[in-house]
Chain A
Amino acid sequence: MKVGLFIPCYIDQFYPQVGQATLSLLTKLGCEVVFPTDQTCCGQPMANSGFAALSGACDQNFVRNFSGCAYIVGPSGSCVLHVKEHLKDEKQPEAAAHIRSHIYELTEFILDILKTEAIQAFFPYKVGLHNSCHGQRGLGLSSLSERVLPVFSKPERLLGKVKGIQLFKPLRNDECCGFGGTFSVFEEAVSVKMGKDRIARHEANGVDVITGVDMSCLMHLEGILKRQGSRTRVMHIAEILNAEA
């Protein structure tokens, strides 16, 4: 299966190991992965700040890079959701529509498209899963505590396949961490407070690692953990699913 790897800009710049783990994992699962090297940003930071109208060039570039791919997979629920909901290209509307309906977050791609749970990973640590809102509420990666519907979690299902792992749920399992893109700087005080509270509930479980499907949330939590001098680390779920003994 030919898969276009979508590595969001901040992962490219700050967390290359997440891109490497995603690429390695998908390859292990039998995908033929290509990384279009002219990709930049999905345009979400502008759009969420009210400037969706300005992200046209960004969108066109995205379409140029990914229009040949059967599927597009990215290790970020938030960026994937943005593309899914907002990607537009007036010159190539069909190509944009194809991308919108064939772009997947990593864990949903593994379970829903590859239809495999054959995760061969070993990660002997205590892990807390952070449910990033855009992945959870936007893409439906897991059930929501607000709704009265059957309970499930795609990331949890995959993490459950990892040998040696001990998974812990924090209280308020799906409360937002306060990253929210530009929210993290426009509403700095609330954002940091939300992050501190999220961390406190994970640390109450004595976890070694906080993981999730969105590196952006984890980057925010990491910043606070480091400021606090905490020994708790953050790792993207791809790194854990790709971890070997």
Chain B
Amino acid sequence: MKDHATLAAGFIQDEKRTNWHDETLWFVRQKRDKAAHTLPEWEQLREWASQIKNHALSRMDFYLEQFEKNALANGVKVHWAADAAEHNRIIHAIIKEKGITRIVKSKSMLTEECHLNHYLEEKGIEVVDTDLGERIVQFRKEPPSHIVLPAIHLKKKDVSDTFHTFLHTEKGNNDPVYLTRAARQHLREKFIASELAITGVNFAIAETGGLVVCTNEGNADMGTHAAAVHIACMGFEKLIPKAEHLSVFLRLLARSATGQPVTTYSSHFHKPTPGQELHVVIVDNGRSAILGKPDFRNSLKCIRCAACFNTCPVYRRSGGFSYHTAVAGPIGSILNPNFDPKKYADLLFASSLCGSCSNVCPVKIDIHDQLWKWRQELSKAGHVGFMKKIMMKGMAFVLGRPALYRFSGATARWVLRYMPFLGKHRLNPWYKGRELPEAPKQSFRDWYLQNKKK
């Protein structure tokens, strides 16, 4: 499999498109900044959000039981899934038992993580993604490239071509309004006919047993209120203690994600309507293990706003697919190694450690520090294959560089191994796009010894 660096290099080959991707996402970052600056209490909100999540994680067992009790009392059916496979089996069992064939799904990164669509497809069951961006990438048989803006890697023309193929829209009509209306028509038919709506969960409230789902398009509500069965899927870390805490999170979420003051719809589900069923699937899938790692547990605070994606100078210039995973971007780079450290080792190096991610994060996850700590974990755990590759890359441009002999003692050894900017060689990754610094006649130390040392 190609690593992030290789995939990113491929992405950047089309520099004009890279610039467009970068600028589009930077624009979202700017909208976020503007929205944050409307609230003088912004930093206080981040602190509260962080503390509420830290507290919830520290009493997660208690809050889960409280949630379950209240949800059951509300007439909600509660399921527990230890891993992705169980999550998928639970949903499949509900579908099979009721003989359901028409399914709509609004955005849920958890179902992406569990590869639910693929699992159901293999059983001959089709799931229609209803978020516009997700529907676009679903037609194209691509995964989302961004957790909030799934089709951000595509241009109008790409969408127009896709819709021409699948929805028979006019060829060459790239007008976003025209294309959105076509999708609206197409998906309204799906909503009205649907028997089952699957949604994610933005927040679950322990004290009331309720679920909150946020969208701008209204697709979660169109699906859930039209279908007879609603299944909401959540990682257990979505739980917050009280309804009043929603004020903190909803004030931060949309402002961080898109710069909107709030999403168009913040829907609070507590009970099914008469004749309807409401299921919630609570998923672990490695989360409890993350909870046991002091250096990494606070990644579970994430509310999936993607502010870290939009601010990340690497993400903006390499695109979501270069991360080869469902949750890309900086947060993905610290979450995915929990699942498979070897497979995702490269993501830990897809960062200059600039730290912008940690500072936009509305729940104060120390993302760039965790990237650094993960790098240490990885070398300790001896994921030799990947580390060796990195060392080889280093070695390739150190060998046979006479200028290195200018160095003396320990410096030479360290610099030789790790900072070998010497040699105008096409295998030298430094030299590919940059000139080498000119080596002066005298090092500072030599000059100092000659001129200053008493």
Contact = CB atoms under 8 A, between A and B. Distances in A.
Interface of A: 7, 9-20, 23, 35, 37, 40-41, 43, 45-53, 58, 61, 133-134, 137-138, 144-149, 172, 174-176, 178-197, 219-220, 222-224, 226-227
Interface string B435-447: 1111110111111
B418 interface: yes
B154 interface: no
A186 B351 contact: no
Most chain A CB within a 10 A radius of its CB, from B5, B36, B40, B438: B5
B445 A14 contact: no
Given A49-B418, A187-B4, A13 B359 contact: no
A169 B372 CA distance: 30
B429 A50 contact: no
A172 B318 CA distance: 18
Given A14-B440, A37-B448, A37-B453, A48 B414 contact: no
Most chain B CB within a 10 A radius of its CB, from A51, A174, A195, A224: A51
A180 B452 CA distance: 33
A186 B393 contact: yes
Interface string B142-165: 000000000000000000000000
Interface residues of B, number: 75
Contacts of A185: 393-394, 397, 429-430
Contacts of A46: 414, 418
B373 to A, nearest CB: 9
A155 to B, nearest CB: 17
19 contacts: A12-B444, A12-B445, A13-B411, A16-B442, A35-B452, A37-B453, A48-B372, A49-B418, A137-B354, A148-B37, A148-B40, A149-B43, A182-B390, A183-B349, A185-B393, A187-B352, A222-B437, A224-B433, A226-B434
Nearest to A220: B434
Contacts of B445: 7, 12, 35, 37
B378 A137 contact: no
A182 B349 CA distance: 9
Interface stretch (B66-74, B99-107, B199-207, B402-410): B402-410
Given A16-B442, A146-B359, A224-B433, A61 B452 contact: no
A190 B434 contact: no
Contact of B352 (A133, A147, A196): A133
Interface stretch (B167-175, B181-189, B309-317): B309-317
A9 B375 contact: no
A224 B434 CA distance: 5
A148 B43 contact: yes
Interface string B1-23: 00011001100100100100010
Given A49-B418, A223-B437, A188 B5 contact: yes
A48 B353 contact: yes
B318 A190 contact: yes
A15 B437 contact: yes
Nearest to A18: B444
B346 to A, nearest CB: 9
A179 B314 CA distance: 11
Nearest to B307: A146
